[in-house]
């Protein structure tokens, strides 16, 4: 076995990398990660420096980890500013750190890529490689964000675990959108229908596209919406039109683009990606505010797509309790963390324990407000 660190994913054979990706997960595909590097979505400007780990057996890739050397905490969705401040108070550097993740993407997926039959042998090698790289780089620690449940079970025996909560939609073999609505409480069902009627009454026409059918103009329009969203929120737009177009070209069947037209003008868009079993909502933007249009494009159209395509889950992104009223329910997310300086271990362990309890209490409270009818009647 040989472990190598690659500063460009282009150095790794695409077919061998993709052969380790389960469920055709779009964000873990070589094409997606390469497009980010090729179009400047990661790198020194944004503080995400690729340091991908690869394990080879006789020059054949048998395990890998999407890994980045980080100089900030932007785009991680697992917030550790309090940890960075603790380091600063002790005159220590929290950055750089190593992060196993898909940049700017709070979606669960593989972080330890390895064939199922070889996980017991290869997972320890990947983790060992990441921790040794921390020491060589002088990084403060290693952070694995949004791993799969079986990866988290391996990691939690060795690393600290953090918990958070997102809102996901589950397909319970619905026949159509009305069948889904029928499972909601009467009040929630009425509100959803009213929101959808307002969008239709405004004269909005929605086009659903993929990488095959979306035109250059469609991607130009969507990139404009995406940039305007960040401009309004004083944020930093990390993706760009070139990235969107390249992913659409190379992964056309993984792309779902919802565009809204009004009076012949394209005014809003929502971009989603799909695996074989899941739909992932990622970006939204608009140039005109239409009541209910955000919910229509980002949630209701996604639910309809999942029902039609028989996808099991819809993950629309981080945060947003308002999703609860629209059929999404709270789901626990997890991450794993290791710090090189053992002096912080006791404090971090206590922090993680309190956080886990708080998230569990929060999830229980939300579950008591389920939008779905109780068995045998309406709530």
Can you tell me the mean pLDDT for 217-230? Answer: 95
Residue 378 has pLDDT above 80, yes or no: no
Condensed to tens digits (0 to 9), the pLDDT of residues 18-51 reads 999 999 999 999 999 999 999 999 999 999 999 9
Residue 374 has what pLDDT? Answer: 75
Residue 196 has pLDDT above 50, yes or no: yes
Residue 376 has pLDDT above 80, yes or no: no
Q: What 3-state DSSP class applies to 77?
A: coil
Please give the Cα distance from 153 to 72 (Å, whole number). Answer: 27
**Any idea which fold 172-311 has?**
Aminopeptidase (3.40.630)
Please give the Cα distance from 365 to 368 (Å, whole number). Answer: 5
Q: Which of 53, 41, 44 is nearest to 17 (CA)?
A: 53
Please give the Cα distance from 12 to 1 (Å, whole number). Answer: 16
Condensed to tens digits (0 to 9), the pLDDT of residues 242-286 reads 999 999 999 999 999 999 999 999 999 999 999 999 999 999 999
User: Would you give the DSSP letter of residue 287?
Assistant: S
359's CB contacts (< 8 A; 6+ apart) are: 163, 164, 165, 332
Domain boundaries defined on the chain: 2-165+331-367, 172-311
Q: Which of 200, 222, 201, 80 is nearest to 143 (CA)?
A: 80
Residue 6 has pLDDT above 80, yes or no: yes
Dihedral, CA of residue 227, residue 230, residue 236 and residue 237, to nearest 10: -30
Strands of the 2-6 sheet, one edge to the other: 2-6, 52-57, 60-65, 113-114
Condensed to tens digits (0 to 9), the pLDDT of residues 119-134 reads 999 999 999 999 999 9
Mean residue pLDDT of the chain comes to 95
Q: Is 172-311 the same fold as 2-165+331-367?
A: yes
Residue 236 has what pLDDT? Answer: 84
Residue 169 has pLDDT above 60, yes or no: yes
Residue 227 has pLDDT above 50, yes or no: yes
Superfamily of 2-165+331-367 according to CATH: Gcn5-related N-acetyltransferase (GNAT) (3.40.630.30)
Residue 231 has pLDDT above 90, yes or no: no
What separation in angstroms does the CA of 144 have from each of 107, 141, 176, 324, 330?
A: 12, 10, 37, 27, 21
Residue 377 has what pLDDT? Answer: 39
């Amino acid at each position: 076995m040989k472990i190598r660190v690659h500063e460009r994913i282009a150095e790794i054979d695409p077919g061998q990398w993709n052969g380790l990706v389960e469920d055709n997960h779009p964000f873990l595909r070589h094409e997606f990660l390469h497009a980010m590097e090729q179009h400047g979505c990661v790198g020194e400007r944004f503080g995400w420096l690729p340091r991908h780990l690869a394990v080879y057996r006789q020059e054949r890739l048998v395990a890998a980890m999407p890994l980045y050397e980080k100089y900030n905490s932007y785009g991680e969705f697992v917030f550790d500013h309090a940890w960075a401040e603790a380091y600063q108070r002790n005159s220590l550097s929290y950055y750089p750190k190593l992060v196993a993740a898909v940049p700017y993407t709070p979606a669960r997926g593989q972080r330890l890529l390895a064939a199922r039959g070889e996980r017991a042998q290869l997972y320890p090698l990947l983790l060992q490689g990441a921790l040794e790289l921390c020491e060589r780089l002088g990084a403060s620690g290693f952070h694995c964000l949004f791993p799969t449940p079986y990866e988290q079970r391996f990691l939690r025996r060795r690393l600290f675990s953090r918990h958070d909560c997102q809102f996901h939609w589950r397909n319970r073999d619905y026949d159509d959108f009305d069948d889904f609505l029928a499972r909601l409480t009467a009040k929630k069902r009425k509100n959803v229908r009213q929101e959808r009627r307002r969008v239709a009454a405004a004269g909005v026409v929605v086009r659903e596209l993929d990488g095959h059918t979306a035109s250059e103009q469609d991607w130009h329009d969507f990139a404009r919406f995406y940039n305007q969203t960040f401009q309004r929120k004083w944020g930093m737009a990390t993706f760009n039109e070139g990235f969107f177009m390249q992913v659409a070209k190379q992964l056309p069947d993984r792309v779902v683009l919802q565009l809204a037209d009004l009076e012949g003008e394209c005014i809003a868009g929502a971009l989603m990606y799909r695996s074989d079993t899941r739909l992932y909502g990622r970006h939204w933007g608009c140039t005109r505010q239409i009541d209910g249009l955000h919910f229509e494009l980002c949630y209701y159209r996604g639910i309809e797509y999942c029902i039609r395509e028989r996808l099991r889950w819809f993950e629309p992104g981080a945060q947003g309790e308002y999703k609860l009223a629209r059929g999404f329910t709270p789901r626990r997310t997890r991450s794993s963390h290791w710090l090189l300086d053992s002096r912080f271990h006791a404090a971090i362990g206590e922090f993680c324990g309190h956080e886990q309890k708080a998230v569990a209490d929060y999830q229980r409270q939300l579950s008591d407000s389920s939008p779905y009818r109780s068995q045998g009647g309406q709530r």
